[in-house]
Structure 1
Amino acid sequence: MSATVESSRKPSMAERRPSMAERRPSVQTGRRPSVIPHLAGIEDPVLPTIPDQCDVLICGTGLVESILAAALAWQGSNVLHVDSNPYYGDTSSTLTIEQIKAWCANVNLNTPGFQGFSKALLYIPRPDQLNSRDYSIDLTPRIMFVKSDLLSLLIKSRVYRYLEFQSISNFHTFENDSFGKMSSSKEEIFTDQSLSLATKRQLMKFMKFVLESESAHIAKELEHYKSTPFTDFIKEKYKLAPAQINELCYTLGLSPTPNILTIEGISRIRRYLSSFDVYGTFPVLYSKFGGPGELSQGFCRSAAVAGATYKLDSQLQSYDSKDKIATFTDGSKVKVTERLVCSPSQAPDNAQNVPEKKYEVTRLITIVKKSCKEWFFEGESAAVVVFPPKTLPSNNVYPVQVIIMGSGSGCCPQGQCIWYLSTVENGEKARRDLEEGLSKLEESILRESEDSGFDVELTDEDVVSRPDGSISVINSVKLGKSFKEFVPQEKLTYLFKLMFTQYTSVEPFGVVNENVFKKALKEGTENSVDYQILYSNMPSAEISYDGIVTEAKLLYSTIVGSDDDFFDVDFEDDEEDTLAAARNDSAIVDDDDEFKDEMDFEL
């Protein structure tokens, strides 16, 4: 993969795709006048200047910072939210092709505002076939478990009204040079012809154990295994084969490392199983038209409605901790009466306490000219694929995780697909693992494609009828194995490849620790830069949204004193005034049952 060389520049606001937040305009609530983010043409544009003073200054519009801005604004703080980029999202942006080109140039030149990324390689072999604004490419793609604190917050804050969700049902594991769809429900386990009766029984016993793991007697039993690797626990207690262990640990649990401990592994499995049959027969959702960048814009809109002021294309140059004056590169200044919160990517020149770049995440993003519908459940447009350790020719130590987005996700044109591959391996080994994973994805989709010139006749034993009347292949391992020796007539066309390394202070299988934010308070004096600036973290390797709300709450409580009133907003007073305006929008709901009806409609 060769690097595309392009001069460092920042695309204008015109070079962007309309977000879901634009399609669903905000409803004003009678709070103090605000500067609305430039997300929709019907609203006022961003003012060319910033206020002289604010309570809290937040630099960077990543997802954590955007949640924090909205929480503070609704609590009553005077928030100024800026970003050095001309678009929202910062380290979790959703970008067009042209924005990606500029991003790569800025990363490789180490331009201020792009710290935390390195070695960006971009390859576009057929630029004439790409219309930039037809694509929404996530720098840090994420999926959302139905039972998650972020989804609960989206409902509570009503930010879900700016978004549209779609489901993911298919999770695939790469084993024996082919992909198998994971069997994770009772129905799928009992009908999976590749599993012995003894294995089915053990799987059912294990899943029952996981679902009851929060009960007192099982929690006490797990204490004996708290230092035991999760894979050893499954092997010893449930006598499962390596194939099932890989599926449980790396595909169902989505562990990014092979050394996860038992209690953490059980928690990850429970996260998956408890998310089934809440809004439908699927455990995971994603936001249409983009991932974290789309959610960031929704929370920015909420913050603006609550009174926050926004200014893009504003790089923080320095901060005077004694006078509490923040100076921007355009010469403007603002006095910060309480706290300055900053993304590591947008740290000022005199920054001293930026979170350590301790862990690496290497990402490979490709756009292929193929629908990849063979990997999706009927009516869906996305899937998850995992390469467990030691399953690639590169003898990968760490799993390679893949999120696949089809055209129905709103992120690419019809007949195309975006593949997001990532690993926590370091250096050149990481890049070899990702390239090997990409090669296996290509081989598989060409073998299984109905356009490849090879027909497979399925019998009644190869399929299962679902409760909703749909028909699904029981195990795509059979398909994969039957195609191993087949040489397809077609070749896969790549339209785009991007590989880069991202750094973070958050360990691969953990969430941010509150000590990260307490460090400045313990070590710095009140007038020191270290004390005055609170830094958020670069995105972790976790491909779910777990940990996002935790970090936002920790930042919030550090500023306010506690998180008791975190998004503690009573929208009822405004409902009569806003109902008419919201009638063409999503319904205003206050509980999960009403939200479920709307989810069913949108899905």
Structure 2
Amino acid sequence: MEEEYDVIVLGTGLTECVLSGLLSVEGKKVLHMDRNDYYGGESASLNLTQLYRKFRDGSEPPSHLGRDRDYSIDLIPKFMMANEELVKVLTHTDVTRYLEFKQIEGSYVYRDGRVAKVPANEMEAVTSSLIGLFEKRRLKKFLEFIQKWSDSDPSTHQGIDLDRMQMADVFKKFGLEAGTQDLVGHAMALYPNDNYLYRPARETYERIVLYVSSVARYGKSPYIYPLYGLGELPQGFARLSAIYGGTYMLDKPVDEILYDDEGKFKGVRSGEEKAYAKQVIGDPSYFPEKVKTVGRVIRAICLLKHPIPNTSDVNSVQLIIPQNQIGRKHDIYVACVSATHNVCAKGYYLAIVSTVVETDIPEKEIVPGLQLLGPIDEKYVSVSNINVPVDDGTKDQVFISKSYDASSHFVSIYDDICDMYKRITGSELVLKRRPRQDEEQATSAGQ
């Protein structure tokens, strides 16, 4: 440890590992530490023993659940959209060579007391059981408008200015009912609340395009998920960092953050050892005095012995309960994967229900989601703070990531990565494709 680095990274959550990998590729000398003995931090995937250590005070897992190694349970479940920016980061950095993805079989939404598939295109809108005959036509016209829109061709605009009009006005122009707006805004554009209605429509347009194009890529649903759980993602970026000279230390406590006379970061102390750097990146747990709590998230990890009812018995599903359907301010998310994703024993399904806490009885708030699961074999509940940095880090060179939100997708995480990258380096994140391993080998063989 007794060395000088360009950057020290604390915690191996996904945000920290992506930044560590990107900075290492750019030639920065990186030291990456984590107080845990496993990768992933708050976004780790745990085996049964680790799960029972965290949620059951270390008691023995029941034998009927099967073997320890059959489980890789996400603490914070999130699905990736096939065409989203984080997938492009994986591809450009060649981290995909460490990962294998499987498609999520269904994208569903809760409306008017029942569960139904989210229509992914104009044809599905016409056949959807979610909406009445006349509303189907209106939704079809709206989706056709989205698909045909071209910035350079005013004839596709239908008098709409995406940059000046609010989304609420666009919905009004197409005459979409409140329930259909919920469907589009929450199950396709994936907004966690209704604030988007009063923002420029372009943001929602881009999110819907991402959803529809991601569905078109693989069919069935827009989502993909790594085998063996999300904990594989930070490990993939950790390997990338190590290839480029990054130093990793797990099970390494951080006893003190060191600052110079001007209050700027200068290093960290672990026991008697010290390491020095100009900048530090870390998750909120390493800097409790530099973050503020802006909310709380409740998550219930549930083991089931059956697929989620009313989802055509698919082995994996994203199910969203829009806030307005149950009189809340935030959506409830249900993410379900199964033994086919190598995250639980054969015959089991893993469903995780999450939402932003709004009352003093958090567990009562996720009941609408739990009720959709059918009989639950085991349940592990946690409530965690949503912490954000108080400052942007440019003054003291301490760059802190945001806690993970309640949503079951990666949109907000990628935004945080880009924002932090710009503050750390002073420039925008521009992805340059790395040569793949086989290309590098071919090049070196030819020399």
TM range (shorter): 0.7 to 0.9
Residue 250 of structure 2: which of 299, 307, 312 is its match? 312
2:115 alignment partner, one of 167, 171, 179: 179
**Counterpart contact for 1:368–1:496, Cα < 8 Å:** no
1:173/1:251 contact within 8 Å kept: yes
Whichever residue aligns with residue 274 of structure 2, its letter is K
Q: Does the aligned pair in 2 maintain the 1:504–1:538 contact within 8 Å? A: yes
Q: 1:533 to 1:212 in 2, by over 3 A?
A: same
- Displacement of 1:281 after TM fit? 5.0
Whole-angstrom CA distance in 2 between matches of 1:178 and 1:384:
15
1:536 Cα deviation after fit: 1.8
| Alpha-carbon distance between aligned partners in 2 of 1:84 and 1:93, rounded to the nearest angstrom | 13
Query: Aligned pair in 2 of structure 1 residues 88, 579: CA closer, same or farther (>3 Å)?
Result: farther
Provide the rounded CA distance (Å) in 1 between the counterparts of 2:187 and 2:361: 22
| Aligned counterpart for 1:100 among listed residues 35, 51, 60 | 51
The structure with the largest strand share of the pair is 2
- For the pair 1:402 / 2:334, whether they are aligned, the reply is yes
Alignment match of 2:212 (pick from 258, 261, 273): 273
Distance in 2 between the 1:201 and 1:520 partners?
A: 50
Q: Does 1:295 align with 2:233?
A: yes
1:120-519 paired onto structure 2 within 5 Å:
127-130=62-65, 131-192=67-128, 195-213=131-149, 215=151, 217=154, 218=157, 221-226=161-166, 230=168, 233-234=170-171, 236-261=172-197, 263=201, 264-291=203-230, 293-322=231-260, 326-336=267-277, 338-347=278-287, 352=289, 354-372=290-308, 375=311, 381-392=315-326, 395-442=327-374, 492-505=375-388, 519=392
| 1:401 Cα offset (Å) | 1.2
How much does 1:193 deviate? 6.3
Q: Distance in 1 between matches of 2:64 and 2:225?
A: 27
1:89-136, CA deviations, whole angstroms, 9 ceiling, x for partnerless residues?
Answer: 112111123223333489xxxxxxxxxxxxxxx9x9972323333221
Indicate how the Cα distance of structure 1 residues 220 and 180 shifts in structure 2: closer, same or farther if over 3 A, else same.
closer
Cα distance change on mapping 1:431 and 1:493 into 2, 3 Å: closer
* Aligned partner of residue 222 in structure 1, secondary structure: coil
**TM-aligned CA deviation for residue 306 of structure 1:** 1.0
Paired with 1:570 and 1:126, the residues of 2 have a C-alpha distance of 43
Report the alpha carbon displacement of residue 517 of structure 1 after superposing the two structures with TM: 8.9
Question: CA offsets, 1:376-395, max 9 Å, x none?
Answer: 57xx6311112223534xx4
Alignment of 1:44-83 (within 5 A): 50-83=1-34
* Higher mean C-alpha displacement, 531-540 vs 261-270: 261-270
SS at match of 2:215: coil
Work out whether residues 517 and 534 of structure 1, in 8 Å CA contact, stay in contact via their aligned partners in 2. Answer: no
Q: 1:497 Cα shift?
A: 2.5
Q: Which moved more, 1:157-166 or 1:255-264?
A: 255-264
> Residue 542 of structure 1 aligns with which residue?
407
Amino acid at match of 1:575: E
- Quote how far apart the aligned CAs of 1:339 are: 1.0
- Give the aligned CA root-mean-square deviation in angstroms: 3.1
- The 3 A distance-change label for structure 1 pair 78 and 382 is same
Shift of 1:345: 1.5
| CA–CA distance in structure 2, aligned partners of residues 201 and 387 of structure 1 | 24
Q: 1:265 to 1:322 in 2, by over 3 A?
A: same
Task: Report which stretch shifted further, 206-215 or 55-64.
Answer: 206-215
Offset, 1:161: 0.8
Identify if the C-alpha distance between structure 1 residues 105 and 335 changes in structure 2 by more than 3 Å, giving closer, same or farther.
farther
Identify the residue that residue 421 of structure 2 maps to in structure 1.
556
Q: Is the 8 A contact 2:282 2:399 kept in 1?
A: yes
Offset at 1:327? 3.8
SS in 2 for 1:81: strand
1:185 Cα offset (Å): 2.3
Larger Rg: 1
- In the aligned structure 1, how far is the partner of 2:78 from the partner of 2:214? 16
Cα deviation for residue 494 of structure 1 reads 1.4
Describe the superposition over 1:269-293 as per-residue Cα deviations: whole angstroms up to 9, x where unpaired: 22211223224453221112112x2
**Shift of residue 194, structure 1, vs aligned partner:** 6.6
In the alignment, the residues of structure 1 paired with residue 100 and residue 193 of structure 2 have an alpha-carbon distance, to the nearest angstrom, of 31
Partner Cα distance (1:259, 1:335) in 2: 43
- Structure 1 position 493, deviation (Å): 4.4
Distance 2:48 2:77 in 1: 16
Moved more, 297-306 or 324-333: 324-333
The DSSP-based 3-state class of the residue aligned with 1:259 is: helix
Give the count of matched residue pairs.
434
Please report the TM-score for the alignment, with normalisation by the length of structure 2. 0.86
Q: Alpha carbons of 1:576 and 1:140: their partners in 2 closer, same or farther (altered >3 Å)?
A: closer
Q: Give % identity.
A: 26
Q: Is the 8 A contact 2:94 2:436 kept in 1?
A: no
Offset from partner CA, 1:210-261 (integer Å, 9 cap, x none):
23456254496234532x6x4x752x22223344333222222222113322
Q: Deviations over 1:402-458 (max 9, x none)?
A: 11112211111121111111112324354212023202332xxxxxxxxxxxxxxxx
Q: CA deviation at 1:86?
A: 0.3
Residues of 1 paired with 2:373 and 2:283: CA distance? 35
Kindly indicate whether the alpha-carbon contact (under 8 Å) linking 2:228 and 2:341 is maintained by their aligned counterparts in 1: yes
Report the counterpart of residue 575 of structure 1 in structure 2: 439
The one-letter amino acid paired with 1:532 is Q
Residues 256 and 398 of structure 1 are in contact (CA less than 8 Å); yes or no, is this contact kept in structure 2? yes
Q: CA deviation at 1:374?
A: 5.9
Report the 3-state secondary structure (helix = DSSP H, G, I; strand = E; otherwise coil) of the residue aligned with 1:498: strand
* TM-score normalised by structure 1 residue count: 0.65
| CA pair 573-420 structure 1, distance change in 2 beyond 3 A | closer
- Do the aligned residues in 1 keep the contact of 2:13 with 2:41 (CA within 8 Å)? yes
Q: Secondary structure at the match of 1:155?
A: helix
CA distance in 1, matches of 2:437, 2:75: 39
Matched letter for residue 103 of structure 1: K
Report the secondary structure of 1:562's partner residue.
coil
1:206–1:360 Cα change, 3 Å: same
Counterpart CA distance in 1 for 2:61 and 2:43 is 26
Structure 2 unmatched runs, 5+: none
Q: CA deviation at 1:569?
A: 5.8
What SS class does the counterpart of residue 192 from structure 2 fall into?
coil
Q: Is the 8 A contact 2:2 2:273 kept in 1?
A: no
Which residue matches 1:450?
A: none
